[in-house]
Amino acid sequence: MQKEIDMFDVQKIRKDFPILNREVNGKPLVYFDNAATSQTPQVVIDAIVDYYSNYNANIHRGVHTLSQEATDAYEIARKKVQQHFNAAHSHEIILTSGTTHSINIVATGFSSLLTKGDEIIVSALEHHSNIVPWQMLCERTGAVLKVIPMNEDGELLMDAYDQLLSEKTKLVFTNHISNALGTINPIEEIIEKAHHIGAAVLIDGAQSCPHIKPDVQKLDVDFYVASAHKLCGPTGVGLLYGKEEWLNKLPPYQGGGEMIDQVTFEKTTYAGLPHKFEAGTPNICGGIAFGVALDYMNSIGFDNIATYENELLAYGTKKLLEIEGLKIYGTSKQKTSVISFNVGDIHPYDIGSIVDKLGVAVRTGHHCAQPIMDFYKIPGTIRASFSFYNTKEEIDILVEAIKKAKMMLT
């Protein structure tokens, strides 16, 4: 591993990202909002331009050359996603508009599979997109939502999870990594225990996929969801992986073109997987660019990425804790390169606004994870999230910016 990281040239990698050359408020951009969206390398930008410049056409429907070229490129991208996540079949990969869309497909589909009194389990560490659709499902079906609690370190209480599981449990869903705290959840244990009592499992991989290369067959997970824009790809595209047997059980999410087999005014029959869940014209360019983004990240290597980002996490944690009055939320032993913190009683928004004037982009607020903030009894946090194209020198700039903000606000 050390030999690999010695070959990791962050300055060379940074040249792949045009936006890292710009200034913000007269200062070089320091971009630490990667948990919200990653930046886009030139090779992905080029793929988008190439599509619209050379073979822009609708897919799966035309006999003309442009349509065939676009269809081939889109399906090659699906195959790349399948291989990256190690799905057994390419038709187990549904290309969606993103993680939220993917979760809603499953939540809506389970409306026909649940009855009053059934139970579903969510973790206390979830993004709103992995809470609200399930609450809506419970309202439709009469199912009961149970919550795995967390501790002060931002870790799930697995003993409590054991107590929640029962023969009534039909579905368990949790994120792989918390977007607000960076906690890496023990999803292998969560999946195994759920399967032991016959429940299905959905894992929200939006925050894990930039740092970890999931193997859905090894995990034996029933559903896994993610977004391309966290993986150096474009916005508006993502994936739903589902085991073939589960995708066949779920009804279509939307009706329209592409998801049909035969249509008459008397009866419509539906297409097979994956098209059953892909009604209408998809984000063709986005899907193709998603495949290019995966190629790019795999060329760097996820082991290299994880090792380097862990160095940034350790360095950033040490440097930030040297600031008097700074408290970090989320101190799990297993976490990724996200540091969520506050400085004394200063509102996070005020610090975020000042450091932005100094060219540093961080996220402030509850990060679409309001129950976590309620647990800590705080309005929100400042979140610095690092990617493989960030540097320790940028962390030093962040630290000095926070010190300046603190001085101005106290």
Same domain? 33 vs 102 = no
Q: Which of 228, 221, 214, 168 is nearest to 192 (CA)?
A: 221
pLDDT of 262 reads 79
Is it the case that residue 18 has pLDDT exceeding 90? Answer: yes
CA distances from 26 to 22, 91, 280, 359 (A): 9, 49, 44, 7
Q: Say which residue the tokens 């501790």 belong to.
A: 151
CA 257 to the chain's CA centroid = 28
Which residues fall within 8 angstroms of residue 175, CB to CB, at 6 or more apart?
Answer: 123, 125, 126, 127, 130, 185, 203, 204, 205, 206, 207, 208
Among 298, 320, 340, residue at a domain's last position: 298
Same domain? 6 vs 64 = no
Same domain? 286 vs 340 = no
Is it the case that residue 74 has pLDDT exceeding 50? Answer: yes
pLDDT of 7 reads 65
pLDDT of 61 reads 78
Among 272, 298, 324, residue at a domain's last position: 298
Same domain? 335 vs 371 = yes
Amino acid at 374: D
Same domain? 6 vs 69 = no
Same domain? 274 vs 306 = no
Is it the case that residue 258 has pLDDT exceeding 80? Answer: no
pLDDT of 5 reads 42
pLDDT of 253 reads 84
Which pLDDT tens digit goes with each residue over 323-375? 999 999 999 999 999 999 999 999 999 999 999 999 999 999 999 999 999 99
The mean pLDDT of 239-255, rounded to a whole number, is: 93
Phi, psi of 246 (to 5 degrees): -75, -40
Confidence at 4, pLDDT banded by 50, 70, 90:
very low
* Residue 311 burial (C-beta neighbours within 10 Å; 0-12, 13-18, 19+): middle
What is the span of the domain harbouring residue 306? 2-40+301-409
* Residue 399 CB neighbours (<10 A): 18
How many helices (H) and strands (E) would you count in the chain? 15, 17
Which residue numbers are catalytic? 368
Q: Which of 23, 5, 12 is nearest to 397 (CA)?
A: 23
CATH code, 203: 3.40.640.10
The Cα–Cα gap between 225 and 108 comes to 15
Q: Which of 341, 361, 318 is nearest to 406 (CA)?
A: 341
pLDDT of 13 reads 98
CA 355 to the chain's CA centroid = 26
The mean pLDDT of 287-297, rounded to a whole number, is: 98
Which pLDDT tens digit goes with each residue over 138-154? 999 999 999 999 999 99
Q: 54: which 2 tokens?
A: 């050379």
Same domain? 189 vs 217 = yes
pLDDT of 8 reads 86
Percent of the chain surpassing pLDDT 70: 98
Same domain? 309 vs 270 = no
Same domain? 77 vs 136 = yes
The mean pLDDT of 294-310, rounded to a whole number, is: 97
- Identify the weakest region by mean pLDDT among 168-177, 235-244, 274-283: 274-283
Same domain? 327 vs 357 = yes
Same domain? 216 vs 164 = yes
Is it the case that residue 259 has pLDDT exceeding 80? Answer: no
Same domain? 118 vs 264 = yes
